[in-house]
């Protein structure tokens, strides 16, 4: 497991395990940009049968082309608020529903193994019940490269 996403819905705390992570500082036209993609696991073994999570078993949270000052992310915190003119975050529900992220804070540091890790907090549209107010979430994951074993 690469991490966990918790969405604090008023009816229940929804828990998603992280399957895939991608993070990179990209240099384009003399400027650095942050790219992040977090994809949750679609396994529901840990979820109660009547959970809201069954309607949305998998999510993807993304940061796209957010300008950063340095290619080194360790020790940095980024506050990301989308505007009508600039949208840096996306949520894919793997469904026809839409959701949006608000008040995003991304903190990068390293864990005890020296791997880059991310603690991402913010708010997400209540796509579960359609209520008007966004609900808080917290995501923690690491970016350790997968080790691929090749048999001879």
Query: Where in the chain are the domains?
Result: 3-142
What is the structure's pLDDT at 74?
92
Please identify every stretch of the chain with a pLDDT value under 70, giving residue numbers as ranges: 1, 152
CA distance 140 to 18: 9
Contacts 24+ apart (CB under 8 A), 115-123: 115/142, 115/143, 115/144, 116/23, 116/73, 116/74, 116/142, 116/143, 117/3, 117/141, 117/142, 117/143, 118/3, 118/21, 118/23, 118/36, 118/142, 118/143, 120/38, 120/61
Predicted TM-score (pTM) above 0.75: yes
CA distance 4 to 14: 10
What is the structure's pLDDT at 139?
96
What is the structure's pLDDT at 1?
63
């Amino acid at each position: 497991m690469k991490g966990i996403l918790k969405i604090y819905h008023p009816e229940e705390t929804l828990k998603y395990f992280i399957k895939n992570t991608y993070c990179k500082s990209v240099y384009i036209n003399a400027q650095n940009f942050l790219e992040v993609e977090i994809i949750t696991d679609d396994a529901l073994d840990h979820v109660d049968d009547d959970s809201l999570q069954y309607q949305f078993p998998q999510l993807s949270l993304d940061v796209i082309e957010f300008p950063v000052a340095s290619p080194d992310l360790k020790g940095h915190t980024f506050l990301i608020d989308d505007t009508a003119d600039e949208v840096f975050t996306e949520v894919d529900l793997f469904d026809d529903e839409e959701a949006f992220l608000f008040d995003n804070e991304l903190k990068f540091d390293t864990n005890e193994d020296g791997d880059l890790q991310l603690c991402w907090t913010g708010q997400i549209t209540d796509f579960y019940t359609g209520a008007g107010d966004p609900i808080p979430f917290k995501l923690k994951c690491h970016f350790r490269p997968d080790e691929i074993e090749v048999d001879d």
